[in-house]
Each structure stands twice: as structure tokens, then as C-alpha cells.
Chains A and B, each alone.
Chain A
Amino acid sequence: MKVMWFHLMPYQDLPVDFKDKHNSVWVDIDPKLYDPVAGHRLYNEYIDELVYADKVGFDGICVNEHHANAYGLMPSPNLIASALARETKDAAVCVMGNSVALYNPPTRVAEEMAMLDCMSGGRLIAGFPVGTPMDTCYAYGQNPANLRERYYEGIDFVMRAWREEKPFSYNGRYNQQRYVNAWPRPIQKPNPPVWIPGGGSVETWDLCAKNSFVYASLSYFGHQASKVSLAGFWNAMKERKKEPNPFQAAFLQFVGVGENRKEAMDLYRESAEYFYGRCLHTDPSYANPPGYTTEATVRARVGSQVMQAAEASRRRVRQDTSDIFDAGHVVIGSPDEVADKLRAVCKEMHVGHLMLLLHYGNMSAQLTRYNTDLFAKKVLPQIKDLFENEWEDKWWPTGMPAVTEVRAPMGAAAE
């Protein structure tokens, strides 16, 4: 199994009474709450944490994209990833990802990701989220009526930009370009591995199953919520008669490791409550612009009690945070307890890529280091072998190509 260290980069100074005095952590959050001096400290601290994860043996480090959001300070994950490409040597650099529907033209995404792949030496994982309604339709004003179509077209555009061997014209429904010519080109051929974050949309399961993309269940509500999404994905794979390779799936889990469960609860409660209480204080008005949820998903939800129950559980936690540990939103305990739990849920959900949030909320750099160290030393060795002997990971970055010949510099032949 590949184990990855994921950072959301939350703002840490939301006031104690944030939930009472402010409408939402997202879209209309008060700009006056942001202190750029704190921002300077946080960005550097957070980049250090990702770099450290590479040093202590995590297989990948992950960043993502949010807009007008206090729990995700990366409007451009590519900027952070470029720092990581320079400062790390081994870990996969997982950009999870670029919301392609927001970029006009999507050439920009093809170019920047190719830059990252070159800079990192073929270590890029290219993630393409459709993006939340808050990020896309509200913070970036995209029309929800065609957001998904734009997103599908954006992925197609970028894939072609990476694969075509000549400049080409693109005449799409939303993108018309006379000359598409992405310079630089990605190291990984024909393209970096493509991962798609999903939250239970029928269309995303099909997209991944059809195109052999990794389906990554990114939920803040742990394995209980991901179980539903991943079951839907494996079902879509089965319908298409595709091989159920666990490395075609990923899932995100909050974790807190301590010497024992009691210590872990004491250590991580504050950061978890900060995240689930303040960071997830969102206005439901921004949750469902028309068209964001498609007809197929609406129909599936009307008929699915499992999906309704998962949604009800999410709503409960937003109101009452006492449930965070018991419900498994944050997996917590001694190294052995955490290892047993993660092994069990990854096996049950058949997932070969485990993305971990070992930092959340207002967790200090010191506690983050403690959590990361304990995980790396005592949990990682217990779970790394899972699936590795039975399945091949075809969705992992290839790194630099083997050197067969050294190319002469341009112009050398004429001398």
C-alpha cells in the first residue's frame, strides 16, 4: 500500500466564537480575519511539514485547491507543489488537484502540471477535481448548469495537450483554441497518473471506471462515508468488467496516534474540534446550486437509504462534535490500534492508496511532528505491505526515465 501525507493548510486563528458570529468559513468569510503575517508563518511551517513527511518515508505528499476558504489556504496548489518539487527527493508530489473547469484556457493546467513533472523528475500525480460548489460556482462564479460538462471537456483537453505529438486545434463546446501546444511536456509518458477526487457522484464513478483513472474518496467523515462512495466505484468497475485493482482507488482519513487511546484523545481533541467545529462551519445555502448535483445522482439519492444515512451522519457532526472519534471521522489510538483499524478498513474498502491527514485544524507544528513521527515509525511498517504482492500499482509516478543515451546539446552537431 502507498501511504501519503495530505495537507489542507488551514488558517489557525479563527476566533473561538467563529460559529456564532460568522456565517461561513467559505465564500463570504470576513477578509479581516486573515492576518498575512500569520500567513507567512503558516505557509512555511506547512511546507516544512510536507517536506518532513518525505524524509521520514511517506510515499507521497498531497496538496489541494480551495478558494475563499479558511481551512484550505491553497487557491493555487501548484505554487506549493513547485516548492515541494525542489525540496523533496523521493515522495510522489500529488496535486489533488486543479479544478480544470475554472481555467480558461485549460492549457494553463497542462503547462503547469508538466512544469511540476519536469521539476520533480517525474513524481507528479495529476488530480482533477470538479471542485466543490463553494469553490467553483460561488467563489469563481462558474455556471452550475454546465460546470460538469466543462470539467469533462477540461480533462479531455489537458490529456490531449500532453499526448498529442504535434500542435493541434481544439474545437470543444466550451474551449476553442487554434493552437494548443503545451510546452514543456511531462516526463511521464504518455501522461502523469490521473487521480479524480470523488464524493459519491454517480458520474465520477463512471468517469474513473471508463478512463482507468484513480477514484479517490476525499471525505472529512472518514471510512464510514468513504465506504459508501467506494462501494459505488467498485460497483461501476464491475459493471464495466474492469479488474478490481485496489491501486485504482484512494481514500482520505484523519488520524491521531498516541501512546494509547486516552493520550491520543487528549492530544488531538482540540485540533479535531477546531476543524469539525470551526473549519466545517459552512453555510448550506452554498451547497447545492442547480446542476451541480446531476439528475442521475438525485435519483440515486432519492432511492438510497445508505446515502441518506451517510448524509444525516455528516449533518449531525456539523452540529455536535462529540462524535468525531467514536464515529471514526478521526481514527485515533495507540500505533497498534491505528494500524489494525487502517489495515481493516483499507482491506474492507479494497483501497491501495491511503491519504492521511496527520495535521488538522489548529494543530501545532510540535504535535504534528509527534503524530507524523509516531505514524512513520510504528504504524507505517505495519501497513505498507498490504496489496503489494498481489497487485501492481499502475497509477504511481514512474520517476525519471532510465538513461539510455545522453543527448547532445542543440547546435552541437553543427560544430
Chain B
Amino acid sequence: MSSYKETFVSTQLGKVRVWEKGRGKRVGFFAGVGGLPKWTPFLDRLSENYRVIAPALPGFPGGPSSEPLDGPLDWVLAVGDVFDAAGLDGGDLIGASIGGAMAMEIAAIWPGSVRKLVLIAPFGLFEEAAPVADIFAQPPNRMVNVLSGKPEDLAAYYKVPDGANPGDWEVQALNANIAAASIIWPLGDTRIAKRLGRIDVDTLLVWGDNDKVIPQSYAKRFATDLGGKSKTQVIKNAGHMAEFDQPNAVAKAIAGFLS
């Protein structure tokens, strides 16, 4: 992996780490469960065609503490601040999983702020007939099996890097999960259904064909209820974290849609 740039920007909640790589059109990335403890091959692939900007959301690795955030309004304003401070206003935005739930809020609440939207298996809806999995109620160290079609690779990605303090690393992962729970506990229903009609930008829905967290049938409901035009692309041999499992295929699908 070639080098990427790390900067820090200020928001009302605190300092936010921003990772950036590549040239060309701006495209923002909000990561999903666990955030970005390390750089990823997906961001590399994306940066071959775009200037990729990946800011850390509150509570996730590199972000300020999410402790002060009490509810959806606090969350949306805090993520809105991150979006602005990272210079993403008016650009394209990709949101994966929990990051997808927040990306939809930005597009719904601030019209014109997002040019084109990409959602990789976003949280936000819940259907009793095909329930979203309880990602937190998993046997110890088995969350990776639910998130990814390549659980060993994902476990290796989350592993403490050489020289890092295991306590700090564990606390970082804990805080990311606390932030995730703060947004999606207990069902993953963020009530976005009430706001989907406000999202009037072109949207690409990306879904792994073996998503064990959010059934593929949800893509259909998003496509029907979104206010703008949408297209769905299913990625082969991929789980919930399709961008982790198949970075090339997901980056290619996104490049095709954004160009």
C-alpha cells in the first residue's frame, strides 16, 4: 500500500482524524462497524481514480469521543460538522453500514450537500419478517464471522499492530462499538424511513451477495423509498463489509457509477 496523508481538523466535539489519498474528484468515505483502525485496500483502489477523503466519525478510531452525544439530533449535527470540516460539502459521498446510515442523514437533512451517494449495505431499516442480525450478540471474537465473508482476514485487520499497546487497542475497538450501539441499538432502525423521500440525489446501493447482517431484500425497499434515482449492484462472494471482502469489485462499481 502506498502512503496516504493524515491530517486533523477541528469540530465542536473535538479533533477529527482525516485520511486522504489520490487525485481528482473528491469522494468522501464514512466507514462502518469498527471504523478504520488501519488503512484498507479498498481506499487504495478508490484512490486510483479519486481524491479519497475518509474522516473519522465520533467514537470511531481517530474521532473525538461520542460520549456527549445523546440522540439522533446530536449525532446528525456532529457528523455534519465532520462532513464540513473534512471539506466534503458538495462532493460525492460513500457510506458503509453504520457510516451509510449517517451518510443518508446528511443527504436527507442538507439538500445539495451531496452530489452522488453510494450506500454499502446501510443500516437504518428493520423488517420483522427479515430481521437485521444482532451484530453485538455474538460469541466472543466471532463478530468478524457475521461481518465478513473473509473472517480470518478481517480478524487479522483488527489485530493489534506491532508496538501498539493492547489495552489502548482494545479500548479503541470498544469505543467504536459503543458509538455503533449508540446509533443502532437495539434493532438498527434509525427511523430513516421517514426521511428517505428527502434524499433526491442519484444513489448507488451496493450489497454483498452473502450479507449476514442486513438481508439483501432491504436494497429493494431502499430503492423504492429513496426520493431520487437509484441503482443496485450485488457483489459476488462478499459479506456485509463488501468493500473489505471485494475491494476491487466494489471500487470498480463505484467508479462506474460516479463517472
Residues of B at the A interface (CB closer than 8 Å) are 66, 70, 136-140, 142, 166-167, 170-171, 174-175, 177-182, 185-186
Check A145–B171 contact: CB distance below 8 A: no
Contact of A291 with B by CB under 8 A: yes
Report the minimal beta-carbon distance from B207 to chain A, rounded to whole angstroms: 25
Cβ-closest 6 pairs across A and B: A290-B177, A145-B182, A143-B185, A291-B178, A302-B167, A285-B137
Q: Is the interface of B mostly helix, strand, loop or mixed?
A: helix
Which single member of B171, B175, B182, B186 contacts A146 (CB below 8 Å)? B182
* CB-based contact A284/B136 at 8 Å: no
In the assembly, what is the distance between CA of A138 and CA of B175, in Å? 20
Most buried by B among A289, A290, A302: A290
16 residue pairs A–B, Cβ–Cβ below 8 Å? A137-B186, A143-B181, A143-B182, A143-B185, A284-B139, A286-B137, A289-B181, A290-B177, A290-B178, A290-B181, A293-B174, A295-B174, A298-B170, A298-B171, A298-B174, A302-B167
**How far in angstroms is the closest Cβ of chain B from A306?**
16
* Chain B contacts for A303, CB-based, 8 A: 167
Using an 8 Å CB-CB cutoff, how does the interface string of A290-311 with B read, 1 for contact, 0 for none? 1101010011001100000000
What is the distance, in angstroms, from A301's C-beta to the closest C-beta of chain B?
9
A232 within 8 A of B: no
Q: Is residue A15 within 8 Å, beta carbon to beta carbon, of the partner chain?
A: no
| B181, A302: Cβ atoms closer than 8 Å | no
Size class of the contact patch on chain A:
20 to 34
Collect the chain A residues with CB atoms within 8 Å of residue B166's CB.
302
Residues of B within 8 A of A283 (CB): 137, 139
| C-alpha gap A299/B182 in the complex (Å) | 21
Q: Which residues of B contact A241 (CB under 8 A)?
A: none
Q: 17 extra interchain contacts, Cβ-Cβ under 8 A, other than A286-B137, A288-B140?
A: A141-B185, A145-B178, A145-B179, A145-B181, A146-B182, A173-B70, A283-B139, A284-B140, A285-B137, A285-B142, A287-B140, A289-B136, A291-B174, A291-B178, A295-B175, A298-B167, A299-B167
- B180 touching A285, Cβ below 8 Å: no
CA distance A137 to B186 in the complex (A): 8
Interface string of A341-373 (1 = CB under 8 A from B): 000000000000000000000000000000000
Contacting residue for B186 out of A141, A288, A299, A302, CB 8 A: A141
